[in-house]
Amino acid sequence: MATLVCAASAVVAGPPCVEGTTTYVLEDEYKPSNFFDKFKFWTDADPSGGYISYQPRDVAEAEGLIKTNADDVYIGVENTEWWPSNGRKSVRIQSKDEYNSGLFITDFSHFPKPTCSAWPAFWMYGPTWPDDGEIDLYEGWHDPGFNHITAHTFDDVAGDCILQPTLFDGSVVNTNCDINSNTWYNEGCGVKETSGQWGNANGGVYAMEWTEDFIKVWSWPTKPADVAAGEPDPTTWGKPHFAVTSASCNIGKAFNNMKFVFNIDICG
């Protein structure tokens, strides 16, 4: 079955320390020594209706669904039972902290092998869904061949949120972010990240910059030099793979108080 391994460094940088510059100040770091302490474990039924049973921390640790060592954090799915009656045991965790802006960089040492039924996801959402929005940074189901980066908004609260394809290099799936606007309910506005890190056994790095003017997402096979040096400068990263901007979306109304989520679903 699919497994997800996250490397040590998931960092959160606050607003620029000097107005008008792109210098970010490190505010928080998720690493093996504190990683699972910074998350709550979801134990309710799967909202996506998957063939899955999300486990509390003690069970997840005892059954090897989560592990840590000096360098890595591991999240996986139970893969020994032939057909568990209550769904396959897995983990869904969401950060205790909420965020409204910043630069977020996550270094993965491994991504799940794309396979039938598997649905790994790394995403953010607000406390009242869909009013407070959702951003899916890494997500795909079955074997799509690429990562889907998607935003979900609610026009009744935020007004129109429309992607402008000239601002990013991902392949557009839908431009309207409203959950009710497309062929399928809650499809949102998304791109196929055809140059992304989908299913890479060696992992990759994802970065999201969130300001009052935009939300942008990039990814690379390894850390860019500025990130590795602890001095990330998004202005040097080129065109993002995904972007939604204040030119066609009220960012402040559409996305609020969002938490990070890691989970692996099955057949949702």
- In the chain, which residue ranges form alpha helices assigned H by DSSP? 57-62, 155-158, 225-228, 251-254
Buried b / exposed e over 49-78, threshold 16 CB at 10 Å, is ebbbbbbebebbeeeebbebeeebbbbbbb
Terminal C-alpha separation, the chain: 15
**Residue-wise pLDDT tens for the chain (268 aa)?**
233 444 445 666 665 544 455 689 899 999 999 999 999 999 999 999 999 999 999 999 999 999 999 899 999 999 888 888 889 999 999 999 999 999 999 999 999 988 888 999 999 999 999 999 999 999 998 778 899 999 999 988 888 999 999 999 999 999 999 999 876 788 999 999 988 899 999 999 999 999 999 999 999 999 999 999 999 999 999 999 999 999 999 999 999 999 999 999 998 7
- Number of structural domains in the chain: 1
Residue 63 is a catalytic residue:
no
Q: Which of 19, 63, 139, 209 is catalytic?
A: 139
Q: pTM here?
A: 0.92
Residue 139 is a catalytic residue:
yes
- In 30-183, which residue ranges form alpha helices assigned H by DSSP? 57-62, 155-158
Q: Which of 19, 27, 134, 187 is catalytic?
A: 134
Q: Which domain holds residue 163?
A: 3-266
CATH code, domain with 11: 2.60.120.200
